[in-house]
């Protein structure tokens, strides 16, 4: 019984010992923003594709959509390739000040809805 209690204690202690870090935090949908600039990096990966964009104010991490949805909406990796100039309309993270989630992106005059 003591062993079991100790195990329960361990189970509770270990996860909280992992340094707290946000995951999918909230996004400020009340104040949409547009981040525009050249794409610096691309991670065309699941669960969400990510680009970093060199905007005039700072480098933003822009969260896009799952890769299967990107593909079906007409945004394959070539569309969001590094070096292209993107305009991303979406919402800033309330947790990570350099991250935003894109509702839609426009590249080369073509707009793709991501939601």
Partner 1 sequence: MLHDAPQFLVALEQSALASAIRQSSWAYMTANVGHILALMVFVSAVVVMDARLLGAFAAAPPASVVRPARRLAALGLLLMAATGSMLFAAEATHVAGNPVFQVKAALIVLGILNALLVGRLLREALDEAHAFEPLPTAAKACAMLSLTIWFATAACGRLIAYF
Point out which residues bind partner 1 (CB under 8 A): 4, 7-8, 11-12, 14-16, 18-26, 43-47, 66-68, 71
For 61-79, b where at least 16 C-beta lie within 10 A, e where not — what string?
bbbbbebebbeebebeeeb
Q: Cβ 31 to partner 1, closest distance in Å?
A: 19
Q: Cβ 32 to partner 1, closest distance in Å?
A: 20
* Smaller CB separation from partner 1, 34 or 96: 96
Other Cβ atoms closer than 10 A to 107: 17
Q: How far apart are the first and last CA of the chain?
A: 51
- β-pairing, 85-93 vs 50-54, is unpaired
* Smaller CB separation from partner 1, 2 or 21: 21
* Smaller CB separation from partner 1, 23 or 83: 23
């Amino acid at each position: 019984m003591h062993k079991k209690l100790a195990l329960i204690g361990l189970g509770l202690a270990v996860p909280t010992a992992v340094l707290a870090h946000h995951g999918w935090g909230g996004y400020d949908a009340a104040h949409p923003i547009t981040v525009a600039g050249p794409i610096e990096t691309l991670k065309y990966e699941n669960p969400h594709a990510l680009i970093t964009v060199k905007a005039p104010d700072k480098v933003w991490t822009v969260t896009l959509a799952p890769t299967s949805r990107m593909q079906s909406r007409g945004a394959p990796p070539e569309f969001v390739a590094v070096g292209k100039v993107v305009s991303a309309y979406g919402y800033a993270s309330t947790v990570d000040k350099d991250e935003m989630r894109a509702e839609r992106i426009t590249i080369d005059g073509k707009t793709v809805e991501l939601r």
